[in-house]
Structure 1
Amino acid sequence: MIDGFAAMGEPKSTVSTAKVAYEDWQPTLSAVGSLRAARGVDLAAEVSGLVETVQVRSGEDVKEGELLVQMVMDSDYARLRALQADAELARSVEQRARKQLAAQAISQAQADAEAAKLKAAEAAVAEQNALIRKKAIKAPFPGRLGITTVNPGQYLNPGDKLVTLQQLDPVHVDFTVPQSALAQLRNGLTVTATTDSFPGVQFNGTVTAINPVVDASTRNVKVQATLKNPERKLLPGMFTNVVVATGAPQRYLTLPANAVAFNPYGETVFVIVKRGEESTVADNKPEDLLQSEALKKADADLKAAAEAAAKPAEEAKPAAPAAPAEPVLVARQVFIKTGPSRGDQVAVISGLKEGDEVVTSGQIKLKNDTAVVINNELQPSSNPDPRPVDE
């Protein structure tokens, strides 16, 4: 039985591996945002009145100053003419009073009274003109109308909503980021937004405002970006995935995130080397771990020496010559320092060099000097921008 097990050779663990390589990284911040029109308003009646005409249809694009709803103004015009007649009379009386004052035919107080009557009459005319203008509801800025249910003959009260008007190019996207990201943000940074309504389409813009107050309950800060929307695809209220480019592109050694194991002493990976070449790979163990291993080794050496002293000496038997064998691949645990991550990838700051072969799956079976067999038919994902798969 012993000879049979010996003939089977050293047990080996099957793993998958990947080569460490440099990749370009664009530092980014990701967030989920909500779209808001650059200018949007729910138009409402300011004064009461009867609708005479509705000049536009739901969903149309309108220009600034274009008439939307006209109220009946017959009685308003009649009152305006009466007030204008009163103003003309007051103007004539005021002019005569100035002439009489110059001839010292009336007192200064009487002339001032006539002047005040003229100003009151002119103010009444201006007020009536303002009332007439309020009954002609116009677009305050260019944009797209929503759905309106206002019809001719309908009576409107002050505050009754008529229609929504939204300017769709450009649009704002509001999103929040942690306060720890504030140092990376500034106005003018490039923003890319995507939405599930238009898969594969990117909308570009820039950061235009950063809220000067951090939310005390979440410790997040609100950021506003402005996106170009010439085709009016983006609508207010939609949610978007926002990516902010926070700096110049950099180059990092990159690994699949599955290759890295995290433990109390730091991050580790298993590097594949040939047996006998383990010393070519620096394990980069932290100082506290080295001290712990030194204490354990010293304790083990003491126990081994005590056991050897207690046993009788045995004659040494000559060892059989070993047959030459092919190089065996073994795993070597290496401590590394990781940097930023993106998707399924993580950057390596130190501990590895380009071309090192690192175990990406099967690490749970490994320890230092474990013999391995590489099988890369299946590999863990290493996508910098993974997306959910619709099924």
Structure 2
Amino acid sequence: MTKRMLIMLGGVLALVVLLAGGFFLHIQKLIASSPKPGPQTVSTTKAQKLEWQPQLNSVGSLSAVHGVDISSEVAGQVRSLHFKSGQDVKAGDVLVQLNADADQAQLRSLEAAAELSATTLKRDRAQLAVQGVSQAQVDADEADLKSKKALVAQQAAQVAKKTIRAPFSGRVGISPVNPGQYLNPGDKIVTLQTIDPIYVDFNLPQRQIGQIRAGQPVSIKSDAFGQELFHGKINAINPKIDPATRNVQVQATIANPKGKLIPGMFANTSIAVGSKQPHLTLPQTAITYNPYGSTVFIVKQGKNGLEAQQAFVSTGDARGDQVAVLSGVKEGDEVVTTGQLKLKTGTPIAVNNSVQPANSPNPTPQEQ
């Protein structure tokens, strides 16, 4: 009985071995007959050296060379306005005329009193020559004339305040004041801004203060005018570093003949420093940034055609769509610019450069 069981177990075991062997051969046949993955299609570019102008960049704010809110020193009713909102005016131009009838009448009364005092002084001086009056009387007449003239000058200044003039040349804003309106002292009439030239104020880290000086050229761009550049020069560097941020404030004067730039706008500022430097550059799309380091895929010739080889790189400054590569790539190396996600070292590749990623140091954004 025991012998029969052993024979049966041996037969079962042999059957299992045969079935397993047959299944293994079948799997191998399926694997051998399955289609092999083809090369991955990528776009590439060659690493090349370009000359970049070293720059200090910052974001600044525009402010007027002269800017003030025009207001009245005295109370009065607006008789007439002599400007239109948004108009350019010159220094001394009349902006607002307040009603000054009562003040002018008072001025004429004081002028008449001063004339009478002058006449009295003249007559008493003639009397003094023949000893008709005392010297004390003439002295009193002279003092009275000086007092009357001072009152005239005071009233004339009061009348002049009723005519509000532009303190400097510039452009007026939008005024809420209308003829017939009563103004109190200090009420805002209109803003006046000198915008040609215009100031741009920005900050730079203290480590860069040795690279800037007064008179150094500055260029700015505003998102309101795309890539248009506005040029000027540094006119002042703050002699004190901000202890909270360790930044230094810099002010530059920018030519603005067309009045495009207005106070309150922000602008991207650039200061060219030093001479141009050669940099090995790649499109930013060629760089894969990882927590363990930045990598690129370099195209190499393999046994069966082109293959991808991963390499670690160190990157430097960026200019638009380009980035400087400090190490890991040599000039002339062909580097993958798109399609990196499906690659690893040794992956066969096919190059198709019919479509290339952006690679401009000064890109121009396009609205779709």
- Which position in structure 1 is the counterpart of 2:173? 146
1:129–1:326 CA distance, 2 compared to 1 (3 A): same
Which entry has the higher C-alpha Rg, 1 or 2?
2
RMSD: 3.9
Q: Is 1:53 paired with 2:80?
A: yes
**In structure 1, what is the equivalent of residue 10 of structure 2?**
none
The two structures have a TM-score, normalised by structure 2, of: 0.74
Q: Distance in 1 between the 2:243 and 2:337 partners?
A: 41
**Partners of 2:308 and 2:343 within 8 A in 1:** no
Look up the match of 1:310. none
Task: Tell me how far 1:46 sits from its aligned partner.
Answer: 0.6
SS at match of 1:222: strand
TM-score by length of 1: 0.70
Distance 2:342 2:305 in 1: 23
- Does residue 366 (structure 1) correspond to residue 355 (structure 2)? The answer is no
Residues 216/99 of structure 1: CA separation in 2 closer, same or farther (3 Å cut): farther
- 1:89 shift after superposition: 4.6
Gapped runs of 5+ residues in structure 1?
276-324
Within 5 Å, which residues of 2 pair with 1:135-214? 135-214=162-241
Q: Does 1:82 align with 2:109?
A: yes
C-alpha displacement of 1:124: 2.0
Shift in Å, 1:128: 1.4
CA distance in 2, matches of 1:6, 1:181: 66
Q: Does 1:65 pair with 2:92? A: yes
The residue number in structure 2 matching 1:345 is 322
Give the percent of matched residue pairs that are identical in Structure 1 and Structure 2.
Answer: 46
The alpha-carbon deviation at position 3 of structure 1 amounts to: 11
Contact 1:10–1:371, Cα closer than 8 Å, also in 2: no
How many pairs are equivalent?
338
Cα distance in 1 for residues equivalent to 2:112 and 2:263 = 50
Offset at 1:16? 4.1
Any residues of structure 2 matched to 1:242-257 within 5 Å, and which? 242-257=269-284
Bigger CA drift: 1-10 or 163-172? 1-10
* Match in the other structure for 1:35: 62
1:35-68 superposed Cα distances (whole Å, 9 cap, x missing partner): 3222222111111122222222222222221111
- Cα 1:262–1:68 shift into 2, 3 Å: closer
Cα 1:98/1:4, change in 2 over 3 Å: farther
Query: CA contact under 8 A between 1:97 and 1:114: conserved in structure 2?
Result: no
AA aligned opposite 2:309: A
Matches within 5 A, 1:1-391: 1=28, 15-91=42-118, 96=124, 115-260=142-287, 269-274=296-301, 329=307, 331=309, 333=311, 336-350=313-327, 352-361=329-338, 362=340, 365-367=343-345, 370-377=346-353, 379-386=356-363, 388-391=365-368
Contact conserved, 1:15 with 1:372, CA < 8 A, in 2? no
Distance in 1 (alpha carbons) for counterparts of 2:121 and 2:29: 130
Alpha-carbon distance in structure 2 between the residues aligned to 1:206 and 1:22: 30
Q: Return closer, same or farther for 1:196/1:98 CA change in 2, 3 Å cut-off.
A: farther
Letter in 2 for 1:25: W
Extract unaligned runs of 5+ from structure 2.
1-27
Q: Is 1:331–1:372's contact at 8 Å kept on the other side of the alignment?
A: no
- Secondary structure of the structure 2 residue equivalent to 1:382: coil
CA distance in 2, matches of 1:371, 1:42: 69
